[in-house]
Structure 1
């Protein structure tokens, strides 16, 4: 086999204690790069998304479970490429088994509330005692330090807390969250990046370490490139709608049959836009050619652009601006996005597979977003049936005998494959 075409993280063992979105997003990326990601869930409760609405099963996608083979759509997306073990970390026996697993693992990640892992006896200090090279990532709403570290948080609370909602929406309107849970997704990406950096550090030094990821920190670090703290001095409302205040025009505009976005970030963009709009009469207007003036008088600029877009179809606008090399895009609905040739050519729209039916569902999931020239990447297996790998992993990674696993199963410490939450 060509070693250069192996996955980058092949041979890396990740013990995944996360649930919901932020942590599973991080381990999904690690799985896509070849890590052996072992999901570990409580036998009594399982993964909270595995059998939660919306469901995907033989009858399609629905909010009601109509078949024993229906599984949670979020789980089917987020657990791809992973293995599933059900182990009770609250029991002494379960904790002992986990420490045996951690001794041979490379990475452990949790998104418990701050301090929970330590109380369970599976925090970084406990694991480093059995494996000094372990990389331990804790992913929380507000971080493992600070006065608000114990607050419970979901994406909505984090978007509100760091101010993203206060700057999203139209001027004079109410605060609005982004359409998808960005703080969860972004924190997952940062967690994967931090884990990769810590693994590189371990390769260089032989030492593991703890990685502390805060959803609030991650979201704030990305949104605050924009000088929101200076808006008042600049005479700008905090909510700017779809525009970027550093450029003009740079906004969403109504067309005859929909919406388009376009923007002029450079003098060349502005000149090209004037040509495409057949407004060369403005090319010699010194005020119009001054970016600062256009920003200060953005309403006038938007009126000029809107007069042109509203008289034309979206396709005609996009074709004209692409020909002029002006950045633009139609505002696609989700149905159109699913058919967008560019995403499909890059393998970014893939079917969701249900392991309990053995078939693809009438829903899609994102493909792996990073493309390597000399390494494979992607999700080789669908989401597992919960507990499907309990026996295998406890034998190989924890070194338990089949008899010992049987004893633990009888006591409820471990659980093997299940077909529904009631089994």
Structure 2
């Protein structure tokens, strides 16, 4: 048994997920202390084992999402493997799967069947479109739901080609909402004694994070489009050119705008009726940007970041991934951790856990991801089923 310190210590999760949305959910649960037993199909296992980039012949993509989990390969059409699977379910608190709706029902392990046999089990299903509705049986990947869910329509630059968000927000948001649903259901089970089904659709999650875009559509009746690096409702709140690059400036109220004007050496902006309040600044966004960049392009990004910080104006650079990972704040918050794996020539860096708790440590290293079927013998012994 692989224990971890955290608020979910003592919770056992059966992880029947692959690729990203489901494994991201169970990674979060593992980071919060749950024991996660990954049930993979024999042969290739999780599809992500074959996804690059590779380090020492192993998928860094898979390793980063499955750190600290256990693995057993089971064919749920095989009677002996079904016996093992059901023994695991007897000890489990949570089952997470991300197959198409109806897939596990065909194997006899859908929600209704499992709830009847394991009434305290929490069954979490994350799929492209959820368990109901006309698209329930369809397959989906991140790119599909980004397109369908409206995210791509507000991403990129006006008049440009359709632009995918730079990370897999379709999968990741679904994984996060599923983890939230699991934690809420565990709390509810303490009150009711009953398990529950958590049904999360990736498309639903894309709608859930449209936030301001929905509000703008509700008010105007017009579908919003992409605005590049600009906030649709707050000005100045975007990327601006300096002498040697770009700087993000986010002056979200009149007080901050006044501080910004003084920091830029443009106090006249404060009394300019075009920029008197946020509504006026939004109406004259291009004119304000021209005034600001006339000043900003006279000095470097570093100069302006120092001046804006001293003035108390929220601002920052546009970092690439290497710069972001090397940022002293990111490092101070333990957001770059190392996975220690004896099969790798060097530690593999990966993102840390952003949920910091005063009650539990936040180690700077993470345990390795499992090889396919690595824990079969130990699990069979634990279940009283022999050596396998």
Q: Which residue of 1 aligns with 2:375?
A: 389
Q: Displacement, 1:382?
A: 1.3
Aligned to 2:40: 41
Q: Which range is displaced more, 236-245 or 117-126? A: 236-245
Q: Tell me if the contact between 1:104 and 1:131 (Cα under 8 Å) persists in the aligned partners.
A: no
Which residue number in structure 2 is paired with residue 312 of structure 1? 299
1:111-130 CA-partner distances (Å, limit 9, x unpaired): 00110011112222222233
| Farther off after superposition, 232-241 or 169-178 | 232-241
Residue matched to 1:19:
18
Determine the structure 2 residue equivalent to 1:376: 361
In structure 2, distance between residues paired with 1:232 and 1:205: 41
Match of 2:174 among 152, 167, 187: 187
Q: How far 1:53 moved relative to its partner?
A: 2.3
Question: Following the alignment from structure 2 to structure 1, what is the Cα–Cα distance between the partners of residues 91 and 249?
Answer: 52
Distance across 2 between alignment mates of 1:230 and 1:237: 7
Partner in structure 2 of residue 67 of structure 1: none
Q: Which residue of 2 aligns with 1:251?
A: 238
Q: CA deviation at 1:95?
A: 2.0
Please name the residue that 1:52 is paired with: 51
Residue 167 (structure 1) aligned to one of 132, 145, 154: 154
How far off its partner does 1:185 sit?
A: 0.9
Match of 2:137 in 1: 150
Structure 2 CA distance for aligned equivalents of residues 267 and 19 of structure 1: 48
Moved more, 194-203 or 347-356: 347-356
* 2:77 alignment counterpart: 90
The structure-2 alpha-carbon separation of the partners of 1:199 and 1:212, relative to structure 1 and needing over 3 Å to count, comes to same
Q: Using the alignment, how far apart are the partners of 2:286 and 2:221 within structure 1? A: 16
Greater shift after overlay, 256-265 or 86-95? 86-95
* CA shift in 2, pair 1:189/1:393, >3 Å: same
CA-CA distance at 1:287 after TM superposition:
3.2
Q: Residue 157 of structure 1: CA displacement? A: 0.4
Gaps of 5+ in 2: none
The aligned residue for residue 412 of structure 1 is none
Q: Calculate the TM-score normalised by the size of structure 1.
A: 0.86
Equivalent position SS for 2:126? strand
Shift of 1:237: 5.5
**Change in 2 beyond 3 A, CA 1:312/1:34:** same
Shift in Å, 1:395: 2.2
Structure 1 segment 242-321 matched on structure 2, within 5 A: 242-321=229-308
Shift of 1:337: 1.2
Q: Distance in 2 between matches of 1:126 and 1:100?
A: 15
Q: Is the 8 A contact 2:21 2:174 kept in 1?
A: yes
Contact 2:128–2:140 (Cα < 8 Å) also in 1: yes
Measured in 1, the distance between the counterparts of 2:249 and 2:178 equals 33
Q: Which moved more, 1:11-20 or 1:251-260?
A: 251-260
Query: TM-score scaled by structure 2?
Result: 0.94
Query: What corresponds to 2:30 in structure 1?
Result: 31
> How far is 1:166 from its partner?
1.0
1:324/1:184 CA distance change after superposition, 3 Å? same
How far the C-alpha of 1:91 sits from its partner, in A, is 1.9
Q: Offset at 1:393?
A: 1.3
> Which runs of 5 or more structure 1 residues have no equivalent in the other structure?
58-69, 406-423
Give the Cα separation in 2 of the matches to 1:386 and 1:244.
45
Offset of 1:199 from its aligned partner? 0.3
Measure the CA separation in 2 of the matches of 1:166 and 1:265: 25
- Residue 271 of structure 1 aligns to a residue whose secondary structure is helix
Alignment correspondent of 1:360: 346
Q: How far is 1:247 from its partner?
A: 1.0
SS of 2:49's equivalent in the other structure is coil
The 2-side partners of 1:326 and 1:80 are apart by 39
Q: 1:244 to 1:236 in 2, by over 3 A?
A: farther
